[in-house]
Amino acid sequence: MNAIEKYGLFEQKVTAPKGDCVAGGAVFTSGSLRMEIPLFWDGDGYVARFMPGETGEWRYEIVVDGATAAGAFTCVDNTGNNHGPVVTEGYHFKYADGTRYIPFGTTCYAWIHQPQELQENTLESLKAAPFNKIRMCVFPKSMPYNNDEPEIFPFNKKADGSWDVNNPDERFWRQLDKRIGQLMELQIETDLIIFHPYDKWGFSEFIQEESLIYLNYVIARLAAYRNMWWSLANEYDLVFAKSYEYWDEYGQTIKNKDPYHHLTSIHNCFACYEKKDWMTHLSVQSFDLYRIGIWRQDYELPVVIDECGYEGNIEFNWGNISAFEMVHSFWMSVARGGFCTHGETFYREDEVLWWAKGGTLLGKSAPRIAFLKELLYSLPADMNPVNRVHINPNEQTDDMPPLDGFLTALSRLPEMDRIHRTMQLFPSEITDGNYRLQYFGHQCPAVMDILLPDDGHFRVEIIDVWEMTCTVVLESAQGKTRIGMPGKEGIALLMTRLDGVSLK
């Protein structure tokens, strides 16, 4: 009997006449567990893919258009880097087996639509990079520095030249399967973008019936990969052929038909989509990282800044931020209680820009993002932000400093002004009680007063996010302590409890 690891991939093909691209069904049972899995067309038959989530013997029965198949396999414990799908826990992420996961993403929208040599180059670059999530599209993209015509497309065409969503081109989908599998081996989550507006081929203009046929095919074919995330759109609010309500139908379709309940989000250009029960986290495009606290409060979900600009030097303002600004965005996102995604857009005559086509990383931010990643994983618990977003003068207590006049004046400001004014007064700060991490961003203090409990001892380190150094300045501190600071931007303080009371 075949053995499949827990969270591994079982696949069985059945020869049958071609009908719709999703047809028939497979039933997998193990003891009292029962899961129904749709079949997808793969050029010469229908395929059932299954990701077992429990160990033991699994039996299956497949029926499609009169053809049948049956059998069994044994599911054994997951090993090595196989930790299962990523799930959410509060405002954080983890793998299904409980292993910690902190998203450090990158963006390569159309890398699977490039020549094979360039795709392989992209994978080699990812092997050496710190990124454990990649934003990428199913459909090709057409925009500046990304106007190449793909060799193959997801669907074949009808006689009238329109796309036939019930006739997928297996060459494309098998290539996509291969790349997702390779990303899985690299422990990189595939944040797969279902729709986007940068389209000269007509995919974004599918009518709703066609869109749902396509979406059901994507779910049937790809859901069994443990490293799968669903992103309904890149910039949903620019896909003008689709109404606002359509996106909710796509989200509900995934919620009802993905048997593994993979992470699901929708990315914006201007306004975040309203909170829905199919959302597992918020995928945001914004330069305004101060709003992370507001989004956390409004959505009560993890917040991922999936687009804050790209390190590079092209002519567009979204594609020419400095390497320091990219690193700063990661630190600011983390220190506000969110997560961040990288991208790179350096001008090249051959127009091979990482953000669109992959290839080779040229910037200076990736090693410094790796430094942050290593630091966060070295801390034993998930940290949460110290929330200073909403200051309410009516909540002041007797033991608070006399700030009535300031707080009253602050409360009269519009919300966004209030956020920015209050955020400028304090460093961005996260804590779990044993550690406190403060990030000063563009501020350049030469001295800093830190307030530590009197009942305890704390180690204090200065972190230079650009030089990638951690320097212990106090081996044991308590109470109000003044320390010398470098007087430059990109500095953080890490305070570690050695004994005594919590830092919260």
Give the least confident one: 56-60, 430-434, 497-501. Answer: 497-501
Last residue of a domain, one of 42, 76, 110: 76
Residue 384 within a domain: no
401 shares a domain with 453:
no
Domain final residue pick, 378, 410, 442? 378
* Same domain as 117, residue 105: yes
**Which tens digits make up the pLDDT trace of 133-190?**
999 999 999 999 999 899 999 999 999 999 999 999 999 999 999 999 999 999 999 9
pLDDT value for 386:
84
**Which single residue is written with the structure tokens 């007087």?**
487
Structure tokens at 3: 């053995």
In a domain, 211, yes or no: yes
425 pLDDT above the threshold of 60 = no
- 232 and 119 part of one domain: yes
Of residues 427, 328, 414, 410, the one with CA closest to residue 372: 328
**What rounded mean pLDDT belongs to the chain?**
92
Mean pLDDT score, 119-124: 98
Q: Helix, strand or coil for residue 238?
A: helix
Say yes or no to pLDDT of 266 above 50: yes
Tell me whether residue 276 is in a domain. Answer: yes
Show Cβ contacts of residue 30 under 8 Å, excluding neighbours closer than 6 positions.
52, 54, 56, 57, 58, 59, 75
Q: Which runs of consecutive H residues, i.e. helices, occur in 102-169?
A: 116-127
At 150, which amino acid appears? P
pLDDT tens profile 90-103:
999 999 999 999 99
Q: Given a cut of 70, is residue 498 above it in pLDDT? A: yes
Q: Residue 367: what pLDDT?
A: 98
Q: Rounded to whole angstroms, how far apart are CA atoms 432 and 378?
A: 13
What are the distances in angstroms from CA 479 to CA 319, 380, 402, 434? Answer: 45, 24, 21, 16
Same domain, residue pair 436 and 410: no
Reduced to 3 states (helix: H, G, I; strand: E, B; else coil), residue 357 is helix
Same domain, 116 and 170: yes
- pLDDT bucket at 394, cuts 50 / 70 / 90: very low
The reply to whether 280 and 364 lie within a common domain is yes
With respect to residue 466, please indicate whether it lies within any of the assigned structural domains: yes
Q: How many domains does the chain have?
A: 4
Residues 412 and 316 placed together within one structural domain of the fold: no
Q: Are 384 and 303 in contact (CB under 8 A)?
A: no
479 versus 405: the higher-pLDDT residue is 479
Do residues 123 and 185 touch, judged by C-beta distance below 8 A?
A: no
CATH number at residue 60: 2.60.40.10
Quote the Cα angle for 9-14-17, to 5°. Answer: 140
Please state the rounded mean pLDDT for residues 76-87.
97
The phi and psi torsions of 209 (rounded to 5 degrees) equal -60, -45
Residue 286 falls inside a structural domain: yes
Instruction: Look up the CATH number of the domain holding residue 472.
Output: 2.60.40.3950
Measured between alpha carbons, how far is 133 from 117 in angstroms, rounded to an integer? Answer: 22
Sign of CA dihedral 72, 74, 79, 85: positive
Q: Tens of pLDDT along 362-384? A: 999 999 999 999 999 999 888 89
Q: Are residues 151 and 283 in the same domain?
A: yes
The predicted structure's pLDDT at residue 387: 61
- For residue 316, which amino acid is it? F
Percent of the chain's residues with pLDDT above 90: 85
- 373: enclosing H helix or E strand: helix 365-378
Q: What average pLDDT score do residues 22-36 get?
A: 95
Predicted structure pTM score: 0.93
CATH number for the domain including 261? 3.20.20.80
Judge whether 383 lies within some domain: no
CA distances from residue 304 to 166, 319, 366, 479 in whole angstroms, order as listed: 34, 19, 18, 35
In this structure, is the dihedral angle defined by the CA atoms of residues 105, 106, 109 and 112, taken in order, positive or negative? Answer: negative
Quote the CA–CA distance of 70 and 481 in Å, as a whole number.
Answer: 71
Same domain, residue pair 279 and 213: yes
| Residue 433 confidence (pLDDT) | 87
Measure the CA–CA gap between 132 and 126, rounded to whole angstroms.
Answer: 9
- The tens digit of pLDDT for each residue in 271-308 reads 999 999 999 999 999 999 989 988 998 999 999 999 99
Q: Rounded to whole angstroms, how far apart are CA atoms 422 and 434? A: 25
The least confident of 190-204, 246-260, 383-397 is 383-397
Nearest alpha-carbon partner for 344 in 361, 332, 369: 361
pLDDT at 3: 94
Would you tell me how many other CB atoms lie within 10 Å of the CB of residue 170?
Answer: 15
% of the chain beyond a pLDDT of 70: 91
Query: Is residue 87 included in any domain, yes or no?
Result: no
**In contact, 323 and 311? CB cutoff 8 Å:** yes
> Is the same domain home to 362 and 451?
no
User: Do 121 and 194 share a domain, yes or no?
Assistant: yes
* 189 and 294 both lie in a single domain: yes
d(CA 173, CA 152): 10
Q: Which domain holds residue 38?
A: 2-76
